[in-house]
């Protein structure tokens, strides 16, 4: 164990964030802290770093171990270049290198009696220098900067001229280079593109220390972590496995808790009915029995009803009328800005019912394409056509479609004047704006709150073609899952830009990859795209598609591969379901076998020859079926 939190409690005024939170982290363990926005995830990290005091409890870190922390927002001043800022982490190695050069000069002019001592010092220092990877410090810094999305021409930029996101990436690079025993990262993927996130995943998976991550990126968590620490209404629970394992176990636990609660409520109602009936008999014996049952109810530990998983937030996306089959046709689209060509001669079509994810590295022009389609920006050349009866609903990640000076209520009522006050309040309540919250100014809202207002307007638009730019930004995991569910059941057409690979995997039916100023189409979700992308990368030796050598995959070829993949997945699910059925039957028979063994130890049983014979025969039948089930399980467990 390298870190332990013991009975940590924290409240801000009357709002309790953490209640007796206890968990531990092992050496080299990779863990994630999850919970809805405001649950206390960042607060917990700050308590561990002693940036905030806990009201109760303590944090224990193994003596001699180091810890590094990346907060969500970074303040970075000074005139260092990006490269020099990361170089400050290697100051000890630079000092050692300077000392080695000094010893080399001293040895050149040393007398014989001094030379031996100097050589010993040089040997020890050289060994330490090599152990700390001193000969590769420059390539190590370059590798980290490139991995985090900085090109070499950016290395000389001054840190005080960088954007907030760039400063966060520089701070992340410094932390990774310092290699502490425990790394704590608060939303590390917020300012990274897909290539940089993939690089960070690989770095953290291979990291020799422990890692604690706060993130809403479920795909990232699935790849990196092996433990989930959940904060739910102040309570902290630990789950082994990645995010998908946690989500499955959480659903099982909640279902079990809900069933136990419902069963207990039924029992309470039954007992109350019996008590009432007994008292109605108006006989002394009946009254005593009723009183006895009342005492039993008073002693019963009443279970709390499990909280709903954000059931108060509801997104219902449904078009007012259907579009034609041809929704969008883009031909020869090009766009450049001074000193930068984003894309040239783009051609693609979108059909009714498709959910198309437009992906690519930062700066390739994804948002620009969406702005052109919505008339926010003009194209340099080319054109696009909307199909018959197509009505667009647009979600802008920068929320330019919102009016900063208006209140939330005014934003909705002005956009949809036919709605009465009750309808507007009901809609806003579905997006967690209640009471006086509806009179907050848009300009005073957080990014997540503005996102919810934009989603409310999108729902009210009743559009049949949704164009969404980073719709999951600022949403917590549960809100993302609610949006995913709404899009999956949406009967219209969707084109969206997102860096959230889990979201893409759940919702997309086709991927458009924008790279090298051109598009490549993949029929399928993100897993399918990643598999095909890796195959093509292995084949060509390059991860960037070459328009001349890597043509767009044909629709028929992609659909065939996708169909085969879905068939394989169906067979796998069938096998897994059969395996679960066999495991459940084995558990049932093993429990019965144990019960028989326990019965056979009782004197009233083992002295009864007829009963012993009966139980022995039953045990033999059980053993026979178990043997068969064990063989079946072994076969099903084969990969």
Find tokens 């005080």 and name the residue.
160
Q: What is the CATH number of domain 567-637?
A: 1.10.287
Q: What is the CATH number of domain 47-245?
A: 3.40.50.300
| Cβ atoms of residues 555 and 591 within 8 Å | no
Enumerate residues 6+ apart whose C-beta is below 8 A from 631: none
Q: Which residue has better confidence, 465 or 99?
A: 465
- Determine the pLDDT at residue 283: 63
* Confidence class for position 53, pLDDT limits 50, 70, 90: very high
Name the pairing type of β-strands 30-34 and 227-232: parallel
How many angstroms separate the CA atoms of 71 and 477, rounded?
Answer: 19
- 497: helix, coil or strand? strand
Q: Is the pTM of this model over 0.75?
A: no
Helix-helix angle 609-637:555-599, to 10 degrees: 160
- Determine the pLDDT at residue 540: 42
Q: Which CATH architecture has domain 326-391+462-553?
A: 3-Layer(aba) Sandwich (3.40)
Name the pairing type of β-strands 30-34 and 392-395: unpaired
Decide if 326-391+462-553 and 567-637 have a common fold. Answer: no
How many angstroms separate the CA atoms of 352 and 622, rounded?
Answer: 56
Query: Exposed, middle or buried, 47 (CB in 10 Å: 0-12/13-18/19+)?
Result: buried
User: Which uninterrupted H or E stretch holds 540?
Assistant: helix 526-540
Closest C-alpha among 189, 197, 168, 175 to residue 73: 168
Q: Which residue has better confidence, 419 or 538?
A: 419
pLDDT digits (tens, 9 = 90+) for 255-265: 888 888 888 99
Average pLDDT (88-104) is: 82
Report CA-CA distances (Å) from 221 to 37, 174, 460: 17, 22, 33
Highest mean pLDDT among 128-137, 343-352, 581-590: 343-352
**Domain coordinates in residue numbering, the chain:** 47-245, 246-299, 326-391+462-553, 405-461, 567-637
pLDDT digits (tens, 9 = 90+) for 470-513: 888 777 788 888 889 889 989 999 999 998 899 999 999 999 99
- Determine the pLDDT at residue 544: 42
Q: Residue 604: pLDDT above 50? A: yes
- Determine the pLDDT at residue 549: 36
Rounded to 5 degrees, what angle do the CA atoms 489, 490, 494 make?
A: 125
Query: Exposed, middle or buried, 432 (CB in 10 Å: 0-12/13-18/19+)?
Result: middle
How many angstroms separate the CA atoms of 558 and 175, rounded?
Answer: 42
Report CA-CA distances (Å) from 438 to 55, 222, 471: 34, 37, 21
| Cβ atoms of residues 197 and 169 within 8 Å | no
- Determine the pLDDT at residue 545: 42
């Amino acid at each position: 164990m390298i870190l332990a939190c013991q009975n940590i409690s924290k409240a801000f005024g009357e709002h309790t964030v953490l209640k007796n939170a206890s968990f531990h982290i092992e050496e080299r363990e990779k863990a994630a802290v999850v919970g809805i926005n405001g649950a206390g995830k960042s607060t917990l990290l700050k308590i561990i770093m002693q940036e905030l005091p806990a009201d109760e409890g303590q944090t224990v870190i193994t003596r001699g171990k180091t810890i590094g922390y990346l907060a969500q927002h970074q303040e970075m001043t000074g005139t260092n270049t990006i490269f020099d800022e990361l170089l400050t982490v290697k100051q000890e190695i630079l000092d050692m290198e300077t000392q080695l050069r000094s010893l080399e000069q001293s040895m050149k002019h040393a007398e014989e009696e001094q030379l031996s001592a100097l050589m010993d010092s040089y040997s020890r220092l050289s060994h330490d220098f090599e152990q700390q990877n001193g000969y590769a410090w420059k390539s190590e810094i370059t590798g980290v900067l490139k991995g985090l999305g900085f090109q070499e021409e950016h290395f000389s930029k001054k840190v005080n001229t960088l954007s907030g996101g760039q400063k966060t990436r520089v701070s992340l690079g410094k932390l990774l280079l310092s290699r502490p025993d425990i790394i704590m990262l608060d939303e590390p993927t917020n300012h990274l593109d897909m290539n940089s996130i993939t690089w960070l995943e690989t770095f953290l998976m291979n990291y020799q220390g422990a890692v604690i991550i706060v993130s809403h990126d479920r795909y990232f968590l699935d790849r990196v972590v092996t433990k989930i620490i959940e904060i739910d209404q102040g309570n902290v629970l630990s789950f082994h496995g990645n995010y998908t394992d946690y989500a499955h176990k959480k659903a099982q636990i909640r279902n079990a808790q809900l069933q136990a609660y419902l069963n207990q409520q039924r029992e309470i109602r039954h007992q109350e009915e019996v008590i009432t009936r007994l008292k109605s008999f108006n006989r002394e014996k009946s009254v005593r029995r009723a009183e006895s049952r009342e005492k039993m109810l008073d002693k019963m530990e009443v279970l709390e009803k499990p909280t709903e998983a954000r059931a108060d937030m509801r997104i219902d996306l449904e078009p007012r009328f259907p579009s034609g089959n041809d929704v969008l046709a883009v031909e020869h689209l090009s766009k450049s800005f001074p000193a930068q060509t984003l894309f040239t001669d783009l051609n693609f079509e979108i059909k009714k019912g498709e959910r198309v994810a437009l992906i690519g590295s930062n700066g390739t022009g994804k948002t620009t394409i969406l702005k052109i389609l919505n008339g926010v920006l003009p194209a340099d050349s080319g054109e696009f056509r909307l199909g018959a009866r197509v009505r667009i609903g647009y979600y802008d990640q920068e929320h330019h479609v919102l009016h900063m000076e208006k209140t939330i209520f005014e934003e909705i009522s002005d956009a949809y004047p036919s709605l009465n006050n009750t309808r507007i309040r009901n809609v806003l309540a579905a997006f967690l704006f209640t009471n006086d919250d509806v009179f907050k100014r848009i300009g005073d809202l957080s990014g997540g709150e503005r996102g919810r207002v934009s989603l409310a307007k999108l729902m009210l638009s009743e559009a049949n073609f949704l164009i969404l730019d980073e719709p999951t930004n600022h949403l917590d995991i549960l809100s993302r899952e609610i949006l995913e569910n709404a899009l999956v059941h949406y009967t219209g057409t969707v084109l969206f830009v997102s860096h959230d690979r889990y979201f893409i995997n759940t919702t997309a039916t086709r991927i458009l990859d924008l790279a090298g100023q051109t598009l490549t189409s993949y029929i399928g979700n993100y897993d399918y795209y990643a598999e095909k992308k890796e195959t093509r990368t292995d084949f060509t030796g390059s991860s960037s598609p070459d328009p001349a050598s890597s043509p767009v995959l044909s629709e028929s070829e992609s659909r065939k591969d996708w169909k085969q993949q879905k068939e394989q997945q169906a067979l796998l699910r069938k096998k897994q379901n059969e395996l679960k059925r066999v495991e459940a039957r084995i558990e049932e028979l093993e429990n019965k076998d144990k019960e028989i063994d326990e019965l056979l130890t009782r004197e009233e049983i083992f002295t009864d020859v007829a009963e012993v014979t009966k139980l022995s025969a039953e045990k033999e039948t059980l053993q026979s079926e178990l043997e068969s089930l064990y063989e079946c399980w072994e076969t099903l467990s084969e990969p």
